[in-house]
Amino acid sequence: MIGVDLKLHYFFDTAAVERALQQKQRRALARTGAYARAIIRNSMKSGRGGSAPPGQPPRYHLRTLKDRIFFAYDPAGSVVVGPTLSTNSDGTLTVPELLEQGGTVTVRRRDARTGKYTRRERHRYRPRPFVAPALTAAMARLREELRE
């Protein structure tokens, strides 16, 4: 019987292949993050005509929310897409969370003359998702990017 000694490390440069795959993955994730950000930003329209119907992306009156949507690639192998974190001092839902999921918020009103808080009002927000639909579309594109 003839013995065959096969040395794969001479034939197959694993480090180079791994680098190429990591570069391809990094590029695909970055492109998908940029694509999702573009979908989110383009889904929001100007606020002419009142607020958007529930279930549709929100309309904006000022570009504050639209301009705060970013994406970031994490070298660990993931991408994060969405609005920047805006905190509330009382721990309630923030504006992006209210728009995405809906909810009820209590707002304290100041008296214009004295400057003291005089009353509380409850406001109900219906969901107007803008991130979840974009991420669904971006995931489909990511699958195509990784297939190539």
Residue 17 has what pLDDT? 77
Distance of alpha carbon 76 from alpha carbon 104, whole angstroms: 37
pLDDT-based confidence at residue 12 (cuts at 50, 70, 90):
low
What would the pLDDT profile of 100-116 be if each residue is shown by its tens digit? 888 888 888 888 888 88
Which 3 state secondary structure label does DSSP give 96? helix
pLDDT in tens, 71-106: 998 888 888 888 887 666 666 667 888 888 888 888
What confidence category does residue 145 fall into, taking pLDDT thresholds of 50, 70 and 90?
A: confident
User: Strand (E) positions, 51-116?
Assistant: 59-60, 69-74, 78-83, 103-110
The residue with tokens 């929001």 is 44
Domain ranges of the chain: 11-147
